[in-house]
Structure 1
Amino acid sequence: MNQHIIPQQWKKNGMACMVAVIFIVSLLMGGLFASPLVTSAADAQPAGIEIELKVGSDTALVNGKEIKVQGMYETKGVTMIPVRVLMKAFELNIQFFNSAHEKSFTLNSKSYRDYSAYVKLGALEAQVGGKVVKLPQPAVEKQGSLMVPLRVFAESLEAVVKIDRKNKTIRITRAADILVDGKHRIGSSKDSWSIAAPLYNPSEPTATSLFGFETHPGAWNWSGSLNANPNAGFTVTIWTEDGGKPLTEDETLEQLKKQIHTSWFTIQKRTLKTSDGSFVGFVAGHNEPFSVTYSQFWILRLPEKTYYIEIFIGNGSVEKHTWVADQLLPTFRASFDDKDANSKDVTLIKQHATNLRTPSSKPTDALRNSY
């Protein structure tokens, strides 16, 4: 469906604001606003982004799927493309503003990677990521669709643009955002668990407990980041207790909620299937003085053990939080392979720290599995 925004959609702002207020109130009330979302391990591997556009065509290929769009065109040597293509491919939300003096819109990322842009129609400047960017041609409305300069906006999304002038086609690509290491793992031989290690900037696992969970002995946490960006970090906490008989989904959620500080309010409930069983959990919010921070809390209850996981990335949309879990949790195993040289055993790390504090103790090879 083409993106007709003027004048019809500009008039919908009042209704959109009312819906937004109702949505925010529902969050603060702590209710579950979404039905359970089931994700399988097959969905865990993120794909890269690929857009293909052809001059004169009213369709575009976005990640292999054809969508109807306003055709791209060239003006004064600048290629203009429909915003709808970027929204679809890069998971962007759009919000419109209409005043007596100007019409504008914002773009914000729904994925883990942060992105924001503020664009005025007809202006030769835009704000992207908090910085002023000069535009070779202004954003305009054409037959009901927003059109923006191709290269400026594609490259601001860290994508690569390739132009095939012979076939009059343009390809816009960006590599997949990967959170976890496909080779190295973190786990505990004592508590029988392991999970993929962060791909970038991994911190050393430490025995601790984050704010979300009540204090529990034996909790471990570590952190990583997205695409080597230390400002796009996430932290993971895992701890275990005895297992037990199978519980219903509602009973499992109640068991999870007992372990969490009462100041957190539930936003979205989810179920995520892995090879070792189904994690049940939710995204939760916590009110800060000027914002709301978010965490995910998960539980996997098995006969032998019950596993609890918190994933914290701070501020961000619900989509950002679910996106992280969909990559991380399917790598979880309710076991630890002590013969795998690429696995770091937190039990040995703890033993190593104990030995360092005891002068009479023998040397240990606790850190032989460093990655």
Structure 2
Amino acid sequence: MGIIAYKKKLNAGVEKVFYMVVVEAINKYTGKRHQKKRRGIQSKPKAETVYRELWSACREERPDGLGFTHWGPLLDSYLEQLHLKVRSNENPNGYSPQVVKSKKSRLAYVRHWDTIHLDLLTPQFVNNKLDEMELKGLSRSMTFHILKEIKCVFTYAVHTGCLKHNLFSGIKMRKVPKKRKEALTHEEVDLLLGEAQRRGHNYYYIWLLTVTLGLRRSELAGLKWLDIDFEQGLIYLRRQLIPKEGIVLFLKDKEERVVAIPNYIVPVFKELKLKSKSEFVIDVDCSRWKDGHQARVLREFCQEIGIKEITHHQLRATHITLALIDGVPLGIVKENVGHAKLSTTDEYFRSAGINMKGQTDGLKINVPQNKEGKVISMNKAR
């Protein structure tokens, strides 16, 4: 493979050097190896240019199109290949079944477009239809995700050669109002944990470890005793335990993570280990926990004891918010909870108003003070 020089006899027995270029590359659309050749190139610089052109052609050449002209067949083909990418033992890096289920449920809203020609599905047409859905009561968050899935379908159409260009590649996504990150206060956490311990609630240790360590539900469920280093005060997260899927041997971001254990939690772990009869730290005999319906348990308990009703994931948000309020550096919190970007953690910082507290105290406005004296009726003053 590469540039090969060879001699060729011309008229009158004169020999001239020519170059042949042979290139192989993996096509980015099919994943298969493509080969291209060209002979008769008269100079080496020209052969080097041809080499680059052929290599790019092998990589970028689109396969023959699937021939879809309408939305319905294209969507069916997309969903079919989506099912082939579901995470399994043979494909551990695939989509989780829940992600595939969510994608299907969002695309179900545009299933009635089956007979519409692809040329008519312009960004303007799609946005107008999504506006109509919102007028009928669909949330902006849902139309945002529907548009995101439509964009994925058109990307698939381009990669399979069905379309030459993706009109949705540069589309401006629908703006979704950001919600405040809901979290409990220190006082509410004290009440939650205190009442859970007093009542011997099944979820006491689950809530305690979530709010002190900031683990996701799947990470806490997959935590084993062998993952905990009591001497170093560290937890090595290596796996998830996902309802209806079982053990997944990597975390959400496909990497292992180290989490620091607060000193005051180490005795709790040791106490829990003495009681444990399982290799897993959390071994709760509760169908809601095993089925992934733990949010309902927490909401009901919060309502019962009279504090803000939150979900299990918002208990993780509580960990992040309170850690920032108590002065734990932003970067440490980000690493501890496994956020991919610092900006994600910073949203909790801003949502809690930590950077705003006391910032306007320097504004000097003289507020009139009440003076003792005779009270004058405003009616008489008029």
How does the TM-score come out when normalised to structure 1? 0.27
Structure with the higher strand share, 1 or 2: 1
Give the number of the structure whose residues are more often helix, by fraction. 2
TM-score, structure 2 normalization: 0.26
Larger relative CO (CA 8 A, sep 6+): 1 or 2?
1
